[in-house]
Amino acid sequence: MPTSRGGGVASSGQRPGNIAMRFGGALLVALALAFALAVGAAKAHADSLADAITHFTADDFDETLTGVNGVVSSGSARAEIIVSALQNGQLMFSAEKKAVYIQDAGGHLFDAATGQPVAGAPPDDLDSVHLNNRLRGAIDAAMGQLTLLSHDPGRRYQAAQAVFKSRATTALPTLEKAIAQETDGRVKTALEQARAAILLTAPGTSQADKLKAIAVVRDRGDQDALGLLADIPAHETPVVAKAASDAIGAIQTRLAEWDAVQNLWYGLSLGSVLLLAAIGLAITFGVMGVINMAHGEMVMLGAYVTYVVQEIIRNSAPALFDYSLAISIPLAFVFAGCVGILIERCIICFLYGRPLETLLATWGLSLVLQQAVRTVFGPNNREVGNPSFMSGAFDLGGITVTYNRLWIICFALAVFVALLGILRYTRFGLEMRAVTQNRAMAASMGIRTSRVDALTFGLGSGIAGIAGVALSQIDNVSPNLGQSYIIDSFMVVVFGGVGNLWGTFVGSFVLGVANKFLEPFAGAVLGKIAILILIILFIQKRPRGLFALKGRAIEA
Amino acid sequence: MSSDTIKTYTLTRRGWLVGASSVALGLAGAFPAHAEDTIKVGILHSLSGTMAISETTLKDVMLMLIAEQNKKGGVLGKKLEPVVVDPASNWPLFAEKARELISQDKVAVVFGCWTSVSRKSVLPVFKELDSILFYPVQFEGEEGERNVFYTGAAPNQQAIPAVDYLMSADGGSVKRWVLEGTDYVYPRTTNKILEAYLKQKGVADEDIMINYTPFGFSDWQTEVSKIKAFGSAGKKTAVVSTVNGDANVPFYKELGNQGIKATDIPVVAFSVGEEELAGLDTKPLVGHLAAWNYFESIKTPANAAFIKEWHEFIKNPKRTTNDPMEAHYIGFNMWVKAVEKAKTVNADKVIAALPGIKQPNLTGGVSEMLPNHYITKPVFIGEIRADGQFDVVWKTKSLVPGQAWSPYLPGSKDLVADWVKLNCGNYNTVTKTCGGT
């Protein structure tokens, strides 16, 4: 984006625009488009286009709106290119030269009206044409009408959605034409819904057509449909009003059902975050019994490793950006793991069996680590980007599933399975279990217990580092990152049962889902309090958590 | 308090320690032996803990302003000497450090605090020891202290104009409101004021939704989908966000992920500035709004000079400037002018000299210290740009004077603060007495 030249308010005197708008932007565009259909000749196109474009040089919101309407009504083939450039912030102007350009990603300038490349140095006062939300709405509506007949089904679908929102009556002729020639089922439905939206709100539609339109909108059944139906004017005939209120009732019932599914999904997503944050602690606290208050800082270190990796990639190999997380995972594991081993060797190994001292020492350590990171990287948040496969969302029935949450659930499960595998099937896992269950016996069987202790702590810390890579995608990367997860992590491990990975697994998902089902009723603050109270009550009943270890192991 | 302008500095062991530590921190090169020739300025901002993210920058900008003033020859012919302490985001420690600054280091004035709770924590100290605090952050108002000068925005200098803008045609003629905030005193008071204001403007109860989330909240899925559902009632909806710093990044990420665009449901924020956006990919957020009294993108010669100086001082051309930094710029220059007018740094005389002092701000206007210890400020509405800066889309026609007590709250509508004529911070205009309701 070439906006680094700054928007500013060089001429803010006029720009904070006038409030007296007689028509909605969408309606103006629509009227203009209707006018455009009446006008024909190509010569006229060129002239009216050039006229319209000069409005963009005024640096005033109302003038820009006039410009957009002019460009659309010119009927020129370049209208779509110009409006889309405006939408993407690529339409530039020079007030001095009264000229308007389109700037491509490489910074090259093209004349907006003709599309010819501009030779020579760009003008000194080059600036992008500024937009506000009113203009963006008008532009979206204009783009919708301009692309209804596009060759690309995806764009036609978007156009139909834009028209559904703008409900511009004058889009109707184009819409009818588009429906008649549409072959793609999904796009056709969207187009028909757009037509229904226009018919419902336009004056002069017959009652039978309105009822048909309500049925179409009712089938759409989402929140936009609800908004449209709730907006039906009060002076409708009783039949139409009744049909609308019935449809609203039906949609609300359907949405309420989907709400439960959505809460479940949110709960699973929160559970996966809790699992990631807690699973390292399940090793250091759950298996080894070390009250590690610096656990959150291991998560934070993992997030900072991701930041450093992304910075290096951005500066030296931008093409690899989508792989940045894959590269960060092993590095974060190794780095946080090494820090963990260092902590174990230097501090914790002197404190086994003294929980109070361990608690204080690791808490102090967490402050030291935070301040160290603050000194090196500064106290501000660091930007960690989402790779393209983790951005955006898709609709699944009535719920919106965001990709980053989906990937984090998969990732949490993968980490859990891998950890189970290490504990169950490797020699190190066997030694680890032996040492934690009966240290003296393990030592007499020839296991170097102190080495196993260090490696176990390193493993727990390394897993926390990996969690940091994932959490950097949804949370702030700042020195405080770890603090917000340490309480939740202990909660999960204690609730699930100390010393059992499955306890942590079930515990995190139960807490996640319970939290998300409570939140809509109780609110975020009360919901959290309620969960804490429930856990306290639960621990009174079952002090060893959901999955208590039985037998002699617990005595060791 | 003695009228002596500068406290004589005894060469105690502690004095050496303070001096040595400030040298060690690289914050000031002055030796205690030279202390008699300087005027000390206290800087009370957290450099560690959760608030370091916001406050460290303010410490830096104060050091820059003091260095700049010293280049011009200092104040009253004496150099200024910064004394930096770290209250570590710990509210009781703020009071302790404030006491240390005033009674041991003998500073003439303190610039500091960010959260309201830290300000409330130091208030008794400033009253007891009779010193001056400049507070640079937008806050909930409802306070009028003799020893405090509020250079940040009161609710009528930020929240109310932002709501007015959203109600206008350019702002989208919003009819339905979500007041989303972090659960502490600033959002709760601001939302109370806004709720009363909206109702007075004829907004129905069912068109206002108020939500609170805990500090550092990171799982915004449910909250955002609640906003989405609330916004689909067929009326134009907007979110007024008083969400606190750290929780904002996940909030905006979730908005972007769930596809809530500014054209559908605009979010206007009171705590999101250039610094907060620096940790964020802002492309999905283009068009969301913020209300401030200053934006880095505003083009004036004074602002350009300030930004240039800041970049040179901090040795990083990527660092942004923000609203509380401008507040310190205004506050510091007002203090310098007041000291020069009073010809002393004696707190009582400077407090008396401050009201009426005028100082050009960085956006082209001239701010004035008012008798209620608030200042006049312009209000800007900015839209987030793809590069993390703001585009000003609306501004007030003239500077808005800060109100200490909101006229929209039942408990405070009759109160005024006036330290010039009434010599009272909570004068009740109905009962004609000083002392609140």
Indicate yes or no: CB of A381 within 8 angstroms of CB of B257. no
Is residue B222 helix, strand or coil? helix
> Using 50, 70 and 90 to split pLDDT, how confident is the model at A506?
very high
Q: Quick check: B24 pLDDT over 60?
A: no
Contact criterion met (CB below 8 Å) for A461 and A285:
no
Could you give the CA distance from residue B103 to residue B100 in angstroms, rounded to a whole number? Answer: 6
pLDDT at A232 exceeding the cut of 80: no
Quote the CATH superfamily of domain B13-153+301-376. Answer: Response regulator (3.40.50.2300)
Q: A347, A360 in Cβ contact below 8 A?
A: no
Indicate the SS3 state at residue B43.
strand
Task: Say whether pLDDT at B324 is over 90.
Answer: yes
A93: which strand partners? A100, A127
Whole-number Å distance between alpha carbons of A105 and A314: 17
Q: Which of B163, B164, B134, B156 is nearest to B147 (CA)?
A: B134
Structural tokens at position B420: 């010039």
Task: Return the closest-CA partner of residue B296 out of B316, B325, B270, B332.
Answer: B325
Interface check B184 vs A, CB under 8 A: no
For residue A81, what is the enclosing H or E element?
A: helix A79-87
Q: Say what the ipTM of the complex is.
A: 0.77
Beta bridge partners of B82: B41
Q: Could you tell me which chain B residue has the CA closest to the CA of A18?
A: B170
CB contact under 8 A, A523 and B212: yes
Q: Identify the bridge partners of residue B42 per DSSP, sorted by sequence position.
A: B83, B110
- Look at residue B33 and tell me whether its pLDDT is greater than 70: no
A3-7, A144-148, A548-552: which has the highest mean pLDDT?
A: A144-148
CB pair distance less than 8 Å for B257 and A404 = yes
Residue predicted with more confidence, B299 or A547? B299
d(CA A136, CA B174) in angstroms, rounded, equals 16
Q: Residues near A322 by Cβ (< 8 Å), separated by ≥ 6?
A: A387, A388, A389
> Which residue(s) pair with A382 in the sheet?
A477
How many CB pairs below 8 Å do chains A and B form together? Answer: 190
* Residue B125 phi, psi (nearest 5): -65, -45
Fold of A258-555: ABC transporter involved in vitamin B12 uptake, BtuC (1.10.3470)
Mean pLDDT of B290-316: 94
Residue type, position B374, single letter: Y
Q: Which of A108, A105, A70, A103 is nearest to A86 (CA)?
A: A103
The two three-digit tokens of residue B58, written as one number: 């303010």
Of the listed ranges A132-136, A299-303, A320-324, B131-135, the least confidently predicted one is A132-136
Cβ distance A519 to B222 less than 8 Å, yes or no, reads yes
Query: Cα angle at A498 between A492 and A502, to 5 degrees?
Result: 70
Top residue of A223, A366, A380 to mutate, by most chain B CBs within 10 Å, is: A380
- What are the tokens at A117? 């490349």
pLDDT-derived band of residue B7, with 50, 70 and 90 as boundaries?
very low
What pLDDT was estimated at residue B4?
41
Residue B6 has pLDDT above 50, yes or no: no
pLDDT at B17 over 50: no
Q: Where are the beta strands (DSSP E) in A66-122?
A: 91-94, 99-103, 109-111
CA A15 to chain centre: 33
Domain B156-298+381-401 in CATH 1.20.120.1200? The answer is: no
In whole angstroms, give the CA distance from residue B240 to residue B269.
6
Q: From the list A1, A231, A266, which residue is nearest B387 (CB)? A: A1
Residue A3 predicted with pLDDT over 70: no
The DSSP annotation for A227-275 comes to: HHHHTS-TTS-HHHHHHHHHHHHHHHHHHHHHHHHHHHHHHHHHHHHHH
Spatial CA neighbour of B282 closest among B298, B269, B299: B269
CA distances from A257 to A251, A254, A263, A397 (A): 10, 5, 10, 11
- Contact yes or no for A523 and B211 at CB 8 A: yes
Q: Is the pLDDT of residue B82 over 90?
A: yes
Q: State which residue of chain B sits closest to A386, comparing Cα positions.
A: B281
Distance from CA of A484 to the nearest CA of B (A): 7
Asked if pLDDT for residue A14 goes beyond 80, the answer is no
Retrieve residue A471's tokens: 């959490």
Q: Is the pLDDT of residue B200 over 90?
A: yes
What average pLDDT does chain A have?
Answer: 84
Question: How big is chain A by its Cα radius of gyration, in Å?
Answer: 31
User: What's the CA gap between B131 and B112, in Å, rounded?
Assistant: 13
According to DSSP, the residues that pair with B240 across neighbouring strands are B179, B268
Portion of chain A with pLDDT greater than 70, in percent:
90
Could you write out the DSSP letters of every residue in A174-239? HHHHHHHH---HHHHHHHHHHHHHHHHHSTT--HHHHHHHHHHHHHH-SHHHHHHHHTS-TTS-HH
CA dist B437 to B56, B195, B371, B427, Å? 38, 21, 20, 9
In angstroms, the CA A248 to CA B416 distance is 50
* CA of residue A447 relative to chain centroid, distance: 48
The DSSP symbol for B90 reads -
Structure tokens, B100: 């240390």
| Res B279: pLDDT | 67
More confident residue, A194 or A46: A194
The residue assigned the tokens 């009408």 is A145
Looking at the partner chain, which of B52, B234, B266 has a beta carbon nearest the beta carbon of A379? B52
Judged by a CB distance cut-off of 8 A, whether residue B217 touches chain A is: yes
pLDDT, tens digit, for every residue of A355-394? Answer: 899 999 999 999 999 999 988 998 878 888 888 888 778 8
Residue A21 in this model has a pLDDT that exceeds 70: no
* Chain A nearest C-alpha distance from B286 (Å): 9
User: Where are the CATH 3.40.50.2300 domain residues in chain B?
Assistant: 13-153+301-376, 156-298+381-401
Of the given ranges (A15-19, A36-40, A177-181, B398-402), which has the lowest mean pLDDT? A15-19
Count how many residues are written for chain A: 556
pTM for the whole structure? 0.81
B223 touches chain A (CB under 8 A): yes
The answer to whether B59 touches B65, Cβ cutoff 8 Å, is no
Strands across the sheet containing B237-242: B208-213, B176-182, B237-242, B267-269, B289-292, B380-384, B390-395
Residue with the bigger pLDDT between A154 and B302: it is B302
Q: If you search the block for the tokens 């008083």, which residue do you land on?
A: B242
Chain A residue numbers with beta carbons less than 8 Å from the beta carbon of B287 are 131-133, 136
